[in-house]
Amino acid sequence: MRTESSPGTLPAREHLPAAGAGTPVLDVVIPVHNEEKDLGPCVRRLHEHLRRTFPYAFRVTIADNASTDGTPHVAGELAERIAEVRAVRLEQKGRGRALRTVWAASDAPVLAYMDVDLSTDLNALLPLVAPLISGHSDLAIGSRLNRGARVVRGAKREFISRAYNLILRGSLRARFSDAQCGFKAIRRDVARVLLPLVEDGGWFFDTELLVLAERAGLRIHEVPVDWVDDPGSSVHIVRTATDDLKGVWRVGRALATGSLPLDRLARPFGDDPRDRDIEDVPQGLARQLLGFCVVGALSTLFYLLLYSGFRAFTGSQTANGLALLVSAVANTAANRRLTFGVRGRAGAVRHQAQGLVVFGIGLALTSGSLAALNTASSDPAHSTELAVLVAANLAATVLRFLLFRAWVFPDGAPAPTAPAPAAPPRAGSAPAARTAPADHDPRDDR
């Protein structure tokens, strides 16, 4: 994680002045990689929409990151034919790298980007950038999980999106609702300070930018969007999810260990002290994640051995249920002691009962996966069953950790060593003053 200090202090937010002749107020970047078929229709549709509805000068920038098909040729033709369009070529792949390069060089005071498939309804573009132009907000994001959003997409993408944002809330204490929607904007003066601190150059770029901005006290405006899934999307979901989880681990470790200078970031940013009232990453998170991963890996191996043994004399669903039940009891006991540092027998029965509820979630995921597999194939191979179960257990593992930390063992982190108990008060002495709990927020008394 980069730790260099900010290159200056941001002034209080103000309404952007009218731009001079020829200077765009808004620069919309479209990062593309091998999108020769969709690029032309996307740019022409976006340009026409901006020409009809946007009251300021604008620019559309095509950021081609290492395309190997005809995308550079299409981008060049669009730039020649449309005055407000320009094309930038990068020889390295990566959406975050493309955005950082174009945003850092842009002269527009408001910078935005959107995906080339235009899954987001363009009518949300003006509401997205208006708070930045007016000086109300520093960043703006489109949200598919906001109450007013209207979304059409498959169950798999819906589950992945909500699970990912749940991970961000549980691990990094994020308060924004949708990190992955390809529809965001930022003020240039803010980007100038934040971009040098963002390390990722791929799909995690958005999340890292938002987490650092939120920790710095910047105001993030959310716009509910109408969003329709593109079934032809070239995004590799598994690889992207893996890279995102690695990014969460990296950023969370940096915040937990204090290697990111949050205090120095908080002073130059944000003109409202309440914007900076965000709890830090919980202490011991890195150690708990490591312990949970070790216990989870051993539990998965134990579960697979049990499943293979039970499967020899019973059906797949029964074998799955029995293996999950036995391994869940062992998993809860191991996490109770090794991951969350809970000693003694106090609360053990309650913890096991709550662990069985978490086990029910895992059973639903794995049983549903097996049912889907048996529907697709009447006689699936044993190796295929194991592969499906491993994938389902990985999804259940993420939810299991969040539930363990927030519900089963909310106070399980080892407490600091308590000082020696004070001597009992003498007769007639005044009672000790009551102190507020450490996590008490004085704003709750208002």
Annotated catalytic residue, options 115, 206, 243, 411: 206
Alpha carbon 199 to its chain's center: 15
Structural contact between residues 16 and 135, judged by C-beta atoms closer than 8 angstroms: yes
Structure tokens at 427: 């007769």
Q: Report the candidate in 241, 229, 267, 249 with the shortest Cα–Cα distance to residue 401.
A: 249
Q: Give kind and range of the element (H or E) at residue 114.
A: strand 110-114
CB 255 within 8 A of CB 212: no
Position 27: which residue type?
Answer: D
Nearest one of 111, 105, 109 to 128, comparing CA atoms: 111
Torsional sign, CA 211, 215, 220, 223:
positive
d(CA 224, CA 76): 33
Indicate if 206 belongs to the active site.
yes
DSSP string, 131-187: HHHHTS-SEEEEESSSTT-EEE--HHHHHHHHHHHHHHHHHH----S-S--SEEEEE
The phi and psi torsions of 247 (rounded to 5 degrees) equal: -65, -40
Q: List the catalytic residues.
A: 206
